[in-house]
Amino acid sequence: MDTALALPVEISDWKPAPFALDGETVFAIGDVHGCASELRVLLDAIARLATEARGKRRLVYLGDMINRGPDSVGVLEQWAGSEEAHGVDHVDRVMGNHEIMMLLTVIGGPHAHKAETMWLSKRMGGTALLAQMRELASLPEARPDQALLKAALGDAVVHNLWGMRSHVRLGNTLFVHGGLDPHADPDEFLTRPWTIFTEARWAWINHGFLDWKAGFKGTLVVHGHTPPDKHREISGMEDPHLFEGDRLGLDGGSARTGIVTAAEIQGGRYRILKAGTPFANPISSSAE
């Protein structure tokens, strides 16, 4: 029996929110972190919901597909699937800070050593993915470089990794991994290249974003990056998956909680999708 088939997907009631998406329906998926079974049932649910969706159907991955969980490669294989495979009209893949750490490691350069040290730390959990890639490539001692990436993941996944975007704008809504700095020029902030590591703060920010109460000049922000316990600590919100302060957070904690979270968003409303079985004792997070 496929264990993924036994995992539940909880779908909330619709909630009102002032999203204006040019007539599209967007399915946005938060941090997955190697939880391939949870992603599989979530994508199956999205494909079913998409058959009844309004207008053009768009799937947006919000980044942090990899690390920590048991099967990052399995996640990437699903993540690289085509529009037809997902039952939608368009797929966007936003880059998260965990993808930044891995890619900076494999390309070398001035940030490679710091990125590798961070990526393979216990906190960030990249060692499981590195071990998976070495096993798939039958190269048990291989350095984490571009050759290993291609040998282990294949052309389709690698092509999509290099094609990730910092953000997606649709109507009045911004889809981004970390968030926005309300004190920065948004265009300059969002176009900072990922190759500048932590200075590409669209992938790393939480303080200064989640505790900001004054909105973002008409932009609504759908994001991942900050899991529920840390979100509550910073924002003061009891439910981190409510639209509040012009933000909607979709990091369910994944490998730390057992839950991968997404949303179906339409003009004027949204609902939350949660895939998986919550852990009895979630692992607390000090940083993402």
Domains and CATH numbers, the chain: 8-96+155-275 (3.60.21.10)
Res. 262: pLDDT tops 50: yes
- How far is 186 from 181, CA to CA, in rounded Å? 8
| Model pLDDT for residues 108-118, shown as the tens digit of each residue | 999 999 999 99
| Residue 6: pLDDT band with limits 50, 70, 90 | confident
CA distances (Å), origin 84, targets 4, 48, 59, 127: 21, 13, 11, 32
Query: Residue 29: which H helix or E strand, with range?
Result: strand 25-29
Give residue 191's pLDDT.
Answer: 97
Query: Residue 247: which H helix or E strand, with range?
Result: strand 247-249
139 and 68 Cβ atoms separated by less than 8 Å = no
Instruction: Give the residue carrying structure tokens 């997907």.
Output: 9
SS3 103: helix
- How far is 90 from 83, CA to CA, in rounded Å? 6
Q: Report pTM.
A: 0.96
Would you list the DSSP string of 182-210?
TTS-HHHHHTS-GGGGGG-GGGT-BTBTT
As a whole-number percent, the residues of the chain with pLDDT over 90 amount to 94
Mean residue pLDDT of the chain comes to 95
